[in-house]
Amino acid sequence: MATPARKSRVFRNLNAKIAAVPMIFCSVVVFLGFSIWTVVYSFTSSKLLPKANFVGFDQYERLWSNSRWLVSIENLMVFGSLSLIFTIVMGFTLAVLMDQKIRFEDTFRTIMLYPFALSFIVTGLVWQWVLNPDFGIQGIVRGWGWESFSFDPLNNPKLVLYGLLIAGLWQGTGFVMALMLAGLRGIDEDIWKATRVDGIPTWKTYIVVIIPMMRPVFITTLVLVAAGIIKLYDLVIAQTSGGPGNASQVPAMYVYSYMFQAQNLGQGFAASTMMLLSVLIVLIPWAYLEFGGKKHG
């Protein structure tokens, strides 16, 4: 940690500044600097080692005409939107149920939240096993007598995303439920008293009054889940390895594959830049909504 060489009133709060150097270094150099470096080098034809021979948009042209990349993007959009919708709907519904002064609330919450403590690798492997056609659900139902029962999403290119979805929801819904529950609990008792006095039924209260009041929580959840989805990697690696064929490929895998296996850094950088772009597209509107132009960002 080097002492920053600044001047005059900078020496006020010097200790604080020194202590905060890691953060400044980290945020500027790493998050800003590295991202810019990657974007810049995506315009080169770097192979195994980065080289500054600039080739304009070539890497992007190639990227967007690559069938595997296009499948990855499509997969991410389908998986992403389904995941978002189901996670939030399920999370909210469960939170509402949990909010109803039930017994064993702690037990229920513990059960719903424990998958969140597990690694994506563990989740992917477990669900690969449960969905195994010979030993998993399909095998068992067939064993019960329904010979023609078919439930083999992981080997069916059209259904494999749903197999991933089942695992992803299992892991993430509990977390969203906890967030929503915290939000629900933060709503003033008086609001409820008022709606009860007015004779509005509970379910209507939820939809018309509560949800709009929980807007910040919803938006935050949306952003968190969306940001997590874009980074999707571990789960797919463990559960399907991108298969069958390329049916469950995701952009993060394309990046890794081309950066490190195909020895084509330029392609990998172009793909990562696209990932960065998509995150910004999600984030910038949110930042504007949240901070309304007061803080810049």
Contact pick of 98, 161, 164, 270 for another protein (by CB under 8 A): 98
- Which of residues 85 and 118 has its CB atom nearest to another protein in the complex? 118
Three-state DSSP class for residue 173: helix
Binding letters toward another protein, positions 11-40, x by CB under 8 A: -xx-xxx-xx-xxx-xxx-xxxxxx-xx--
Cβ atoms within 10 Å of 199's Cβ, excluding its own: 6
Contact pick of 54, 57, 146, 260 for another protein (by CB under 8 A): 260
Cβ atoms within 10 Å of 143's Cβ, excluding its own: 10
43 binds another protein (CB under 8 A): no
Place of tokens 């995150």: 279
Residues 138-197 that bind another protein (CB under 8 A): 139-140, 143, 155, 157, 170, 174-175, 178-179, 181-186, 188-189, 192
- Which of residues 163 and 268 has its CB atom nearest to another protein in the complex? 268
- Which of residues 81 and 119 has its CB atom nearest to another protein in the complex? 119
Question: Rounded to a whole number, what is the largest CA-CA distance in the chain?
Answer: 83
84 binds another protein (CB under 8 A): no
Contact pick of 119, 150, 281, 285 for another protein (by CB under 8 A): 119
Give the residue among 222, 278, 224 at the shortest CA–CA distance from 250.
Answer: 278
Torsion angle of C-alpha atoms 94, 98, 99, 104, degrees rounded to 10? 180
Q: How far apart are CA 154 and CA 209, in angstroms?
A: 41
Structure tokens at 106: 């702690």
Contact pick of 43, 79, 92, 127 for another protein (by CB under 8 A): 127
Q: How far apart are CA 100 and CA 104, in angstroms?
A: 11
Q: How far apart are CA 119 and CA 117, in angstroms?
A: 7
CB 199 within 8 A of CB 140: no
Contact pick of 84, 159, 222, 237 for another protein (by CB under 8 A): 237
227 binds another protein (CB under 8 A): yes
Q: How far apart are CA 76 and CA 58, in angstroms?
A: 24
Shortest CB 81 distance to another protein, Å:
18
281 binds another protein (CB under 8 A): no
218 binds another protein (CB under 8 A): no
Size of the site for another protein (CB under 8 A): 131
Shortest CB 196 distance to another protein, Å:
9
Contact pick of 54, 64, 129, 146 for another protein (by CB under 8 A): 129
